[in-house]
Amino acid sequence: MLLLRQGRVVCPSTGVDRVLDVRVLDGQIAEIGVDLAAGDARVVDCAGYALLPAFVDLVADLADPGTTWREDLRSGSLAAAAGGFATVLASPATDPVVDSGAIAQGLVDASHDLPGARVQRVGALTVGLLGQELTEMGSMLAAGCVAIGDGGRTVSDAAMLHNALSYARPFGGVVLLRPGQRALEARGCMHEGQTSVQLGLRGIPAAAEEIGIAMVIALVRATKARVHLTHVTTAVGAELLARAKDAGLSLTASVPARSLVLSDTAVSDSGYDSVTRLLPPLRPEQDRLAVCAAVVSGVIDSVCSDHTPWTRVEKELEFERAQPGAVGLETAFSATFTALDGDLPRVARALAVSPAAVLGRTARIVVGDVADLALVDPGFQGPCAPPVQSRSSNEPLVGHALRGRVLATVVSGRLIAAI
């Protein structure tokens, strides 16, 4: 039994935004009110802090099974909880790839009873993530996978994607797609533009993402599949998305939290440090600002962690040889809060309400709902600290001035301190 006292309760779904006490009992929210009696509950003084519905992450690579030196279910679950997430979707990009009903069943069963956030599985869209053959989507969803997608890999072949979306639609699961164009992305290692020209690094044209988004929009229109675009990071991409939504297309999208605060000059500032190598790459300032605006306007409804842990083995290499990606579970809230200028209802919507809706769920602070809560300190300011719970430390935000931090996460009524 838990009594969260005097926190600012921010629940965009119900419109509540005021200081209240919240009682948690048997994994559920039991009572919300003013001056609730403590009884024998454990009291957490939340005065000065805020209580948000706990976050839901649609995009995270937890590396388990296969490359557990980078991350494992336990460390990934703890890292997610340290970042305010109660639910994290694990990418199918594991070894073996989650691309059959049997593999999915085994992994769903193995993902219970974790010490932090609950981990749920995404089943692959194409066998081996190779973009050539359809997976057993139906069996994977039946086994407990909550979405279908190829993780960070992009399906560039239009005919293949058309088939995959057509096949996925009747099963009902949402399809997570990273928009991109493989051949163009293979050509470079950072955003092609002023900074890449200055640094002499081969560039990936923004066209790669734009083509990917345009293709997905056309195919969603054709197949009526339920699609969520992960990683929308360009101004033109956000504009394409806005136009598609205006035209009545049902399509949701997310952006990695770090892309809201970092731009491609991080590559030059770091002196070619591979920690800044990402896919999609960091974008110029004008794209960053456009994407922030798109999150504010709701065109991009969700923010994800895009957690991609790599250790020294994969990162202590020449920039163009290092694996792209960065961790992000433990910093997603601070980055989002900073980028959205401290607007807590908007942060709650982007990190909790909208991603939950993508999965057909709610994220609310309402009596009777599962007690998934994030306790945050909106007054905190300081340089971003290195990750603590993740097994990897490839975090380009370290040292960056950020606002706000997560103090604790409640997962099904269980309180997990973050600091």
Residues annotated as part of the active site? 306
Task: Answer whether 51's CB lies under 8 Å from 9's CB.
Answer: yes
Give least dist CB 400 to another protein, A. 18
Give least dist CB 272 to another protein, A. 3
Give least dist CB 285 to another protein, A. 14
Q: Which is nearer to another protein, 5 or 315 (CB)?
A: 315
Q: Which is nearer to another protein, 196 or 302 (CB)?
A: 196
Residue ranges in 179-208 that form contacts with another protein under rule CB under 8 A: 187, 192-194, 197-202
Residue 398 makes contact with another protein by CB under 8 A: no
Number of Cβ within 10 Å of residue 62's Cβ equals: 31
Task: Answer whether 116's CB lies under 8 Å from 81's CB.
Answer: yes
Residue 319 makes contact with another protein by CB under 8 A: yes
Quote the CA–CA distance of 140 and 168 in Å, as a whole number: 11
Q: Which is nearer to another protein, 272 or 380 (CB)?
A: 272
Task: Write the burial class of residue 28 (CB in 10 Å: 0-12 exposed, 13-18 middle, 19+ buried).
Answer: middle
Joined together, the tokens standing for residue 281 give: 């790459």
Quote the CA–CA distance of 223 and 245 in Å, as a whole number: 16
Task: Answer whether 328's CB lies under 8 Å from 306's CB.
Answer: yes
Residue 157 makes contact with another protein by CB under 8 A: no
Give least dist CB 269 to another protein, A. 12
- For residue 101, what is the enclosing H or E element? helix 101-110
Is the CA virtual torsion 302, 363, 117, 135 positive or negative?
negative
Please give the size of the binding site for another protein, defined by CB under 8 A: 19
Q: Which is nearer to another protein, 110 or 207 (CB)?
A: 207
Q: Which of 272, 323, 362, 412 binds another protein (CB under 8 A)?
A: 272
Mask: binding to another protein, 320-349, rule CB under 8 A, as x and -? xx----------------------------
Give least dist CB 265 to another protein, A. 13
Residue 286 makes contact with another protein by CB under 8 A: no
Q: Which is nearer to another protein, 17 or 320 (CB)?
A: 320
Q: Which is nearer to another protein, 202 or 224 (CB)?
A: 202
Quote the CA–CA distance of 129 and 131 in Å, as a whole number: 6
Of 101-109, 214-222, 269-277, 387-395, the segment contacting another protein by CB under 8 A is 269-277
Give least dist CB 377 to another protein, A. 34
What single string gives the DSSP state of each residue in 335-381?
Answer: HHHHHTTT-HHHHHIIIIIHHHHHTT------TTSB--EEEEEEEEE
Task: Write the burial class of residue 371 (CB in 10 Å: 0-12 exposed, 13-18 middle, 19+ buried).
Answer: buried
- Write the CB contacts of 367 (distance below 8 Å, at least 6 apart in sequence): 29, 30, 31, 32
Residue 249 makes contact with another protein by CB under 8 A: no
Residue 24 makes contact with another protein by CB under 8 A: no
In 3D space, the residue among 116, 87, 89 whose CA is nearest the CA of residue 104 turns out to be 89
Residue 150 makes contact with another protein by CB under 8 A: no
Q: Which is nearer to another protein, 14 or 194 (CB)?
A: 194
In 3D space, the residue among 144, 26, 54, 79 whose CA is nearest the CA of residue 356 turns out to be 54
Residue ranges in 355-374 that form contacts with another protein under rule CB under 8 A: none
What does the binding site for another protein look like in residue numbers (CB under 8 A)? 187, 192-194, 197-202, 271-273, 316-321
